[in-house]
Amino acid sequence: MTVEELVARFPEIPADLRAEPLVAELAASCGDLLQEARRPSNCSQQHDAANHYYLKLVGPLSIYAYGLSTVEKVRRQLQELLDRRRTDPGGFAQSLVPPDTAEREVRGPGCG
């Protein structure tokens, strides 16, 4: 996956982070998981694997977009993710998903 494909899929990624080399490396290294990643619904009561991929891989970027993080912290978080992926490529995806993960996202009453 390229940064352009990542941003097309997740336009909430801030413009000032799109040129970050670590974002490009995340897109290339974790493209398979980012293809599956899905932002949880606002009324989600239990997340599925796709939601967890989003929260762990895209979450730091979107938290920064809200002004709740710094560029330095995002860089650190991305580097840690990339290091974990390199260290254990086979177990990385599983490490992003807690044991109590739902098979499908569970939404609360009244949610479509």
Closest CA to 75 of 21, 5, 15: 21
Which residue is it, tokens 């599956």? 36
| Residue at 52 is within a domain | yes
| Residue at 26 is within a domain | yes
What pTM value is reported for the model?
Answer: 0.93
pLDDT of residue 88: 96
| Residue at 106 is within a domain | no
| Residue at 9 is within a domain | yes
| Residue at 104 is within a domain | no
| Residue at 103 is within a domain | no
Q: How many domains does the chain have?
A: 1
pLDDT of residue 70: 97
**Tens digits of residue pLDDT in 77-96:** 999 999 999 999 999 999 99
pLDDT of residue 112: 66
If DSSP codes are grouped into helix, strand and coil, which group holds residue 46?
A: strand
**Tens digits of residue pLDDT in 10-65:** 999 999 999 999 999 999 999 999 999 999 999 999 999 999 999 999 999 999 99
| Residue at 90 is within a domain | yes
Expressed as residue numbers, the domain containing 28 is 3-38+47-98
Residue 90, number of CB atoms within 10 A of its CB: 6
Q: 109 pLDDT band (50/70/90 cuts)?
A: confident
